[in-house]
Amino acid sequence: MSLLEFCRWLQYSAPLVEMRGSPWFFPVIATVHLFGLAIIGGAVLLVDLRLLGFGVRGTPVASLVRDAERWLFRGLCVAIPTGILLFMCFATKYYYLTFFWVKLTALVLVIVFTFSVHRRVALVDDSRVNPAWSRVVATVSLSLWTVVALGGRYIGFP
């Protein structure tokens, strides 16, 4: 079975036909998805702006990261399952959208980057990290998250 055939099967399965037929299901799931994205955005901006030298300067980056990571994880726990449901409702359409594949690729990259390189740099004592390196890490993070956000925007309104 090819990926396209799987998308067709998924989209036209009985539960998803029922979900699409509901006047409230898709809007509610999309709203909850955006709520999760807002939580992610807040956590990411809080840490990355601090790494860039803006924002909450009185708090060490490592402490800020530990607090924001909890919210980032919660946001991901909301956004990923709801994103999967949104995909399943129109899987065949998304299969053909370049923006979907760009968003998906950027999402995988930013999650790996966030919980590896970004985390490692952010949790080190402020005095031991080169400020230029912190700015590079924050810029990469913000760039990848921006690609994810723009990809999602253009999926909904191509």
Tens digit of each residue's pLDDT, the chain (158 residues): 899 999 999 899 988 888 888 899 888 999 999 999 999 999 999 999 999 988 777 888 888 899 999 999 999 999 999 999 999 988 999 999 999 999 999 999 999 999 999 888 888 876 677 888 889 999 999 999 999 999 999 987 66
Rounded Cα–Cα distance for residues 121 and 125 (Å): 9
Residue 126: the pLDDT is 66
Q: Quote the domain boundaries for residue 7.
A: 3-156
Q: What predicted TM-score, i.e. pTM, was given to this entire model?
A: 0.88
Residue 137: the pLDDT is 93
Overall number of domains in the chain? 1
Residue 158: the pLDDT is 60
Residue 78: the pLDDT is 97
DSSP string, the chain: --HHHHHHHHHTSHHHHHHHH-TTHHHHHHHHHHHHHHHHHHHHHHHHHHHTT-S-TTS-HHHHHHHHHHHHHHHHHHHHHHHHHHHHHTHHHHHH-HHHHHHHHHHHHHHHHIIIIIHHHHHS-GGGS-HHHHHHHHHHHHHHHHHHHHHHHHHH--
Residue 92: the pLDDT is 93
Tokens encoding 97 = 């959208």
Residue 5: the pLDDT is 94
Show contacts of 62-67: CB within 8 Å, 24+ apart: 62/122, 62/123, 62/124, 62/125, 62/126, 64/122, 65/119, 65/122, 65/123, 66/123
